[in-house]
């Protein structure tokens, strides 16, 4: 038992370092993550006795996985936004959105909650934070606030992101039926999907006072998001749950916003375009301005698993190769065509040409975007290398076994924490399902709890941990020009994430013997 505790505590050192470096020392994200990588390498080599070659090749796999597809998709998303600024399309989009409502709190719901959730459901890989946050910041919102509301929004759609891949993966690694698993996950997340829009309004509006006059529309935005998810997850599974929920929520939120049209917007929340800057916008101008984002939607939809013939045809343009020499490592897969970053670039370039952007303007914008992202690239590559080394040398497993051993029958109360730690390290809901999904169901079997309930807890905790991860924070910071200010974002989001994590632990633990029998799982 002593060895389990010691190894468990030592495995937490890279995480403890990141938290201290980012919050206590206020260190830039890329420096803190390089430090975490050094700590991980030293521990892997000298404490976990990982061969140097295995350690080096595992880090190399992390670097490659970071570059393709994660960094690719983030650069593509930010390039799309930056180009829309250069062409003036973002000014038109801002005027149109403020035409629906000039109230900053309503725009937080429309762009951060509904549109951000939709981007997570379709693409994932950081687009759900990068694009909405950059749009809100471009409309005049404080960049840190724009990031925080979009990070809050991203936690719980993560389980069904990229057309349901995390939950489908969880079902595969645990052997559980994906339909009841998806439904159980939505049931477990239901309180959060109603709570989060309220937290977003509070953060976006600068305090609890921002809820004045907003309770109705905020409640509708949350309820209309989660109810369709319950229905879709129950009868069709995880693939369409978030996508349908976001579309319904967007429609309902717009209807509620139009019903509020006659109300005077308090000055502190007013984001309307001044009369001297207002443009005459006809249908053609609106279509041209929105074209890149429309094309992103169309291309991601047509190439997704929702259109099997196209998806299957493009699946052949991929490579599976073993990079890490660790015996615990599998093959790393790279999809060279059908990956969100490629389609976002295609949409941005086509949209840019239609918006009269010259090749030079596009090239200059791309170069500027990559420069803007340079520190973020270092951050994400370091984090993915840490994740791969910790996984293959056994540090992640020892961390999880430590929690299982010391909690016993109270394990359901800490199940979300274990998942959150996994997502903090990897920055990915899917990776967390692969790493820890089987551990959650094995623990459930040992203590006589529902495997479906604790598997769902893995998704709940992973979503919360993801928004705290250095990878997520670096993406948000890069999107709004705050590169190197990761500590400010972590300091702003951590209290809300910890609140959600406490609620998740209580909810999973207290209801583990009540809700699963009612659901028949």
- Residue 473, φ and ψ in degrees, nearest 5: -65, -40
Q: What is the DSSP letter of 269?
A: G
Residue 297 lies in a domain: no
Give every CB contact of residue 516 below 8 A, 6+ residues apart in sequence: 184, 449, 450, 452, 453
Instruction: Output the pTM of the full model.
Output: 0.84
Residue 279 lies in a domain: no
Per-residue pLDDT of the chain (521 residues; tens, 9 = 90+): 788 899 989 999 998 998 899 888 888 888 999 999 999 999 999 999 999 999 999 999 999 988 988 888 888 888 998 899 899 998 888 788 778 888 999 999 999 999 899 888 877 777 789 889 988 998 889 999 999 999 999 999 999 987 788 898 889 878 899 999 999 999 999 999 999 999 999 999 999 999 999 999 999 999 999 999 999 999 988 888 998 999 899 999 999 998 887 788 888 998 876 555 667 788 899 999 999 988 988 888 888 877 889 989 998 999 999 999 999 898 988 999 988 889 989 999 999 999 999 999 999 999 999 998 888 899 889 988 998 899 899 988 888 888 888 998 899 999 999 999 989 988 888 888 877 888 899 889 889 999 999 999 999 999 999 999 998 999 899 888 888 788 899 999 999 999 999 999 999 999 999 999 999 98
Cα–Cα dist 257/79, whole Å: 30
Containing structural domain, residue 136: 2-65+102-272+373-519
Q: What is the pLDDT of residues 266-303, one digit of tens each?
A: 889 988 765 556 677 888 999 999 999 889 888 888 88
Q: What is the DSSP letter of 482?
A: -
Residue 67: closest CA among 321, 370, 490: 370
Residue 200 lies in a domain: yes
Residue 232 lies in a domain: yes
Q: What is the DSSP letter of 109?
A: I
Residue 336 lies in a domain: no
Cα–Cα dist 245/190, whole Å: 12
- Residue 103, φ and ψ in degrees, nearest 5: -80, 120
**Number of domains comprising the chain:** 1
| CA dist 320 → 21, 332, 384 (Å) | 36, 6, 18
Q: What is the pLDDT of residues 374-395, one digit of tens each?
A: 888 998 899 889 988 998 999 8
Residue 498 lies in a domain: yes
Residue 421 lies in a domain: yes
Residue 409: closest CA among 448, 365, 375, 366: 448
Residue 461 lies in a domain: yes
């Amino acid at each position: 038992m002593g060895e389990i505790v010691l190894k468990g505590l030592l495995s937490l050192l890279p995480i403890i370092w990141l938290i201290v470096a980012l919050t206590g020392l206020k260190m830039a994200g890329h420096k803190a993550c390089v430090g975490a990588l050094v700590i991980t390498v030293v521990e892997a080599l000298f404490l976990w006795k990982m061969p140097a070659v295995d350690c080096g090749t595992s880090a190399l796999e992390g670097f490659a996985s970071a570059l393709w597809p994660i960094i690719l998709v983030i650069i593509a998303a930010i390039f799309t936004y930056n180009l829309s600024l250069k062409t003036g399309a973002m000014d038109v989009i801002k005027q149109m959105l403020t035409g629906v409502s000039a109230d900053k709190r309503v725009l937080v719901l429309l762009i951060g909650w509904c549109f951000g959730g939709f981007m997570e459901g379709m693409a994932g890989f950081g687009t759900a934070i990068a694009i909405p946050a950059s749009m809100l910041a471009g409309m005049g919102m404080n960049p840190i606030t724009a990031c925080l509301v979009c990070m809050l929004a991203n936690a719980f759609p993560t389980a069904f992101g990229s057309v349901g891949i995390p939950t489908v993966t969880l079902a595969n690694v645990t052997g559980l039926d994906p339909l009841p698993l998806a439904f159980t996950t939505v049931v477990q997340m239901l309180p959060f999907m109603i709570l989060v829009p309220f937290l977003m309004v509070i953060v976006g509006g600068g305090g609890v006072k921002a809820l004045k006059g907003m309770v109705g529309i905020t409640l509708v935005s949350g309820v209309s998001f989660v109810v369709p998810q319950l229905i879709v997850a129950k009868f069709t599974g995880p693939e369409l749950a978030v996508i349908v929920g976001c579309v319904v929520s967007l429609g309902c939120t717009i209807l509620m916003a139009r019903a509020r049209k006659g109300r005077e917007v308090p000055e502190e929340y007013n984001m309307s375009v001044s009369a001297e800057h207002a443009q005459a916008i006809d249908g053609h101008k609106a279509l041209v301005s929105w074209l890149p984002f429309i094309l992103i939607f169309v291309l991601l939809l047509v190439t997704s698993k929702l259109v099997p013939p196209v998806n299957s045809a493009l699946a052949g343009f991929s490579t599976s190769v073993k990079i890490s020499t660790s015996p615990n490592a599998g093959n790393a897969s790279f999809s060279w065509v059908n990956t969100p970053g490629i389609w976002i670039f295609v949409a941005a370039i086509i949209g840019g040409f239609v918006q009269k952007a010259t090749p030079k303007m596009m090239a200059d914008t791309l170069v500027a975007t990559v420069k803007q992202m340079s520190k973020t690239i270092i951050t994400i590559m370091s984090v993915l290398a840490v994740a791969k080394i910790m996984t293959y040398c056994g540090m992640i497993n020892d961390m999880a076994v430590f929690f299982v051993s010391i909690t016993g029958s109270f394990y359901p109360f800490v199940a979300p924490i274990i998942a959150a730690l996994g997502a903090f390290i990897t920055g990915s809901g899917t990776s967390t399902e692969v790493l820890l999904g089987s551990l959650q169901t094995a623990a459930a079997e040992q203590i006589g709890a529902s495997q479906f309930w604790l598997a769902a807890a893995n998704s709940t905790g992973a979503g919360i941990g993801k928004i705290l991860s250095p990878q997520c924070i670096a993406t948000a910071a890069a999107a709004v020009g705050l590169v190197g200010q990761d500590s400010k974002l972590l300091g702003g989001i951590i209290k809300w994430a910890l609140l959600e994590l406490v609620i998740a632990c209580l909810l999973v633990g207290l209801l583990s013997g009540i809700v699963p029998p009612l659901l028949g799982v």
